[in-house]
Structure 1
Amino acid sequence: MDDEPRFLRISVVAWDGIAGLCAVIGVTALIITGWLGFRELDARAEAARAQATLGLLDVWETRGFRQAHDELAATVAAEIAGMPEDARIAARTGGAYAERFYEIVATAVLEDPRARKQFNDTVYFFERAHLCVEADLCAREETAAFFDSLKEGFAKTFAAELARRRETDPDYAEALQDFAM
C-alpha cells in the first residue's frame, strides 16, 4: 500500500473524498444562501407592500376620499329613508326589485352635483386601490380587509350608474366589477 499515490502524506483517494465533501458543503451552502436571500427579498417586498397599503389608507383618510364616501353614503341613507317602507322591505329580498330600487335611489342622489363629485372621487379612489393591489404594490388581503365591504355596498347602490358608464368605457370602475349585483 506504500505504492499508492500521495500528496502531503495523504492518499489521493482521501483527497478525492475531501474534494467531494467540500463540493457537497459548497453546494449546500449555496442553496441555503440562495434560500435565505430569497426569503429576505420576499420579506422586504412584503414590508414595501405593507408600507404602500398604509400609504393608501393615509390617502383615504387625509385627502378627502373617506369624507366623500361617507357623505355620499349619508345622502344615500337619507334617500332610502325617504322611500316608502314597503319598497325598502321589498328591496331587502334582492333580485330585480332591489336592483331597480337602488337604481331609483342612485339616480335621485346623483342629481346633486356635489354627490356626483363624491361618486367620482370614490370611484377614483377604489380604482387607485385596485391598481395598487394588481401591480403588487399593496398587500391584497389587507387592502381587501379595509375596502371590500365599502366597495360592495357602493357597487350595490350604484350598480346601474356603473353599468351605464361601462357602456361607453368597458374598463370603467374595474375595481367594482366583482361586487356588482
Structure 2
Amino acid sequence: MTSLGPATAQQMSRRASQTEPDSDLENGDDNPFKSRDWRVWSYAWSGFAVRILIVVGGIFSVLQYLDTREENRVERTLQLIELWEKPEFQQAQQAISERLDALNVQFAELLDKDATAAERSVYFDRIGAAAMQADGGTMPVEAFRAHFDRMLYFLNRMAFCVDGNLCSKEVVDGYFGDFAASFWAYFGGYITEQRGGVAPNYGAPLEEYVASLKS
C-alpha cells in the first residue's frame, strides 16, 4: 500500500472538515435573532420591525380609505335629502299624492278588501294610467306631468346614487324606499309603456332600485 505523505494527510483532513455538517446549523444557531453577533442581531430585528410597520401601515391605509368612502356616501345621501326637501320636489310630491288620493276615492269600489297581490297590481296600474289623463284630476294634465317628470327625475337620480354605491343604501331605503315603491306601483305600467325610440331605458334606474327593495 502506498503511504500518504504529511502534506497529503493534511489536505485530506482539511477536506473532511469542510464536508462535515456545521454543528451550529444543526442546532439552529443560524437564526439571526439568536446570533451572538450584535450586528446580525440588530439587522434581523430592524428588518422585522420594518415589515411590521409596512403591514400596520397597509391596514391603516385600507381602514382610512373605507372610512373616507363611507363619509362620502353619507355626505351624498344628505345632499340627496336636501334636494328632496326643496320646494319644487315637495310640491311635486304633494301634487302626485293629491291626484292619487282623489282617484283612489273615485275607484274605491274596484278594489276588494281581500284582493290578491295580482289584483292590487292591476288596480294600481289603472289608477296610475288615469292620473296621466286630462280628466285624472283638477290640476291641468300638463302641470301634473311636469310634477311627474320632476319626481321621476329625482327618483332616478336617487337610484343611480345607490346603484353606483355613492349613497348609503340603508339611509336611502329608510328615507325614500316606501315612497319609491309606491310611486312605481302606481306608475310603473305607464312608465314601461313609454319606453322605446329615444328613451328605451325610461325609468329603468327606478325600476331596478324598487326591485332591490324586494330582494
TM-score range, shorter chain: 0.7 to 0.9
Alignment equivalent of 2:102, drawn from 58, 78, 98: 78
* CA 63–42 in structure 1, closer or farther in 2 if over 3 Å, else same: farther
- Aligned position for 2:10: none
Structure 1 residues without counterparts, runs of 5 or longer = 1-10
Alignment equivalent of 1:107, drawn from 122, 125, 129: 129
Supply the AA of the counterpart residue of 1:109.
A
Separation in structure 1 between the aligned mates of residue 113 and residue 146 of structure 2, nearest angstrom? 30
Q: Aligned residues: percent identity?
A: 20
Separation in structure 2 between the aligned mates of residue 113 and residue 19 of structure 1, nearest angstrom? 80
Instruction: Report the 3-state secondary structure (helix = DSSP H, G, I; strand = E; otherwise coil) of the residue aligned with 1:137.
Output: coil
The TM-score with structure 2 as length reference comes to 0.70
Contact 2:188–2:207, Cα closer than 8 Å, also in 1: no
* CA 131–91 in structure 1, closer or farther in 2 if over 3 Å, else same: farther
Supply the AA of the counterpart residue of 2:53.
A
Contact 1:61–1:67, Cα closer than 8 Å, also in 2: no
Structure 2 residues without counterparts, runs of 5 or longer = 1-34, 134-140
- Aligned position for 2:112: 89
Kindly indicate whether structure 1 or structure 2 has the higher relative contact order, using CA contacts under 8 Å at least 6 residues apart.
1
- Aligned position for 1:125: 154
Instruction: Report the 3-state secondary structure (helix = DSSP H, G, I; strand = E; otherwise coil) of the residue aligned with 1:170.
Output: coil
Supply the AA of the counterpart residue of 1:54.
L
Instruction: Give the drift of 1:12.
Output: 6.9
Aligned residues: 169
Contact 1:90–1:98, Cα closer than 8 Å, also in 2: no
The TM-score with structure 1 as length reference comes to 0.82
Separation in structure 2 between the aligned mates of residue 117 and residue 91 of structure 1, nearest angstrom? 35
* CA 71–91 in structure 1, closer or farther in 2 if over 3 Å, else same: farther
Q: How does 1:61-72 map to 2 (within 5 A)?
A: 61-72=85-96
Instruction: Give the drift of 1:137.
Output: 2.4
Alignment equivalent of 1:40, drawn from 57, 64, 75: 64
Contact 1:80–1:105, Cα closer than 8 Å, also in 2: yes
Supply the AA of the counterpart residue of 2:97.
A
